[in-house]
Amino acid sequence: MPPIYPKSPKEMVGGMRYFTRLLDKIRLHARGELGADYHENLGKTNAADGVICNFLRVNYAELRDRVLAGGNDEEVLEWCYEKGRRLNEGDLVVWNGFMSKFGWNDFATPVLERRKKEMGISDRTDIKTIGEMIDFDEGRLS
């Protein structure tokens, strides 16, 4: 059986990048379908999961519990807005700009470079962000 990958970090819900991937990872993990490689970063504060929770001002464990209680991505995002903070158009521009460049000349660059080396693609200068590396690793980018 081929591996099951979470949604792309580029996919959006409510105009927000990565959020739907985070929820997908939570759901896949709960069903025992999330690959072991993903477990270490679930909710980790300095990984994308923790960064988005911080941006929304919600606790990862509480978000995980809310996701597992049911509801679609839009309903969970609305819960985040109620529990944390509601994002406006400017916030979405800032978030999406950050996520589109995550790993490019920022605190996550060493992680990106290490993972590219582990994957044997250090020479791929076209893969400049964590999102691009994820999409390459999961077969969405050649």
pLDDT tens per residue across all 142 residues of the chain = 677 999 999 999 999 999 999 999 999 999 999 999 999 999 999 899 999 999 999 999 999 999 999 999 999 999 999 999 999 999 999 999 999 999 999 999 999 999 999 999 999 999 999 999 999 999 998 8
DSSP state of 13: E
| Selection from 1, 112, 13 nearest residue 67 by Cα | 13
The whole-angstrom separation of Cα 4 and Cα 31 is 11
* DSSP bridge partners of 17: 12
The whole-angstrom separation of Cα 106 and Cα 108 is 5
Q: How many CB atoms lie within 10 A of CB 95?
A: 20
The whole-angstrom separation of Cα 77 and Cα 71 is 10
* DSSP bridge partners of 16: 13
pLDDT of residue 3: 78
Residues 40, 111, 65, 100, CA torsion sign: negative
pLDDT of residue 2: 72
User: Residue 9: what residue type?
Assistant: P
pLDDT of residue 1: 66
- Per DSSP, the three-state class of 135 is helix
pLDDT of residue 14: 96
